[in-house]
Amino acid sequence: MIIKNLRKSRENLELKQKDLAEKFNLHFSTISGWETGKDTIPIEKLIEYANEYELSLDYLFGIITKNEKYYPIKLDILQLAKNLTELRLANHHTQTEVAKKLNTSQAAYSHYETATNIIPTAFVYGLTKIYEPFSIDQLFGRKKIKP
């Protein structure tokens, strides 16, 4: 899965893949794989990148076209689990229904709502197809920086 604006955001910051690799202690080929969709960026790394450069997750995923600046967050898996549950219930879905749409099992999906496992990046993107309108930034509890 390609994070639509990962490369664009890096280029707008006038950074090379090598620069990001050094910053985040990775090999430049890892960054290349994320930008081409060959590899999936772990949600923890995507949040780390978004935090570092005040980027919106919604922008990086291509949900919105213009970046909005957000305060950095520390990934809170318990809050994320709570937000996933609230989102599902507010939309009158069962775990089985959401799991089926994400092409996973109900048991696997329940682990995301109980904070047993962190939801994979591809499934976060899949949620944007289930719930509209939807904000990944809100799901993770990020707050906008007021201009």
pLDDT for the residue numbered 147: 76
Q: Please, where in the chain does CATH 1.10.260.40 lie?
A: 77-139
> What's the CATH class of domain 77-139?
mainly alpha
Domain formed by 6-61, architecture: Orthogonal Bundle (1.10)
Please state the φ and ψ torsions of residue 70, each to the nearest 5 degrees: -125, 150
Burial 122-136 (b: 16+ CB within 10 A, else e): ebbbbbbebbeebbb
pTM for the model stands at: 0.90
* Distance between CA atoms of residues 50 and 45, nearest Å: 9
pLDDT for the residue numbered 1: 59
pLDDT for the residue numbered 33: 95
Digit-coded pLDDT (tens) for 89-144: 999 999 999 999 999 999 999 999 999 999 999 999 999 999 988 899 999 999 99
Digit-coded pLDDT (tens) for 4-48: 899 999 999 999 999 999 999 999 999 999 999 899 999 999 999
pLDDT for the residue numbered 82: 97
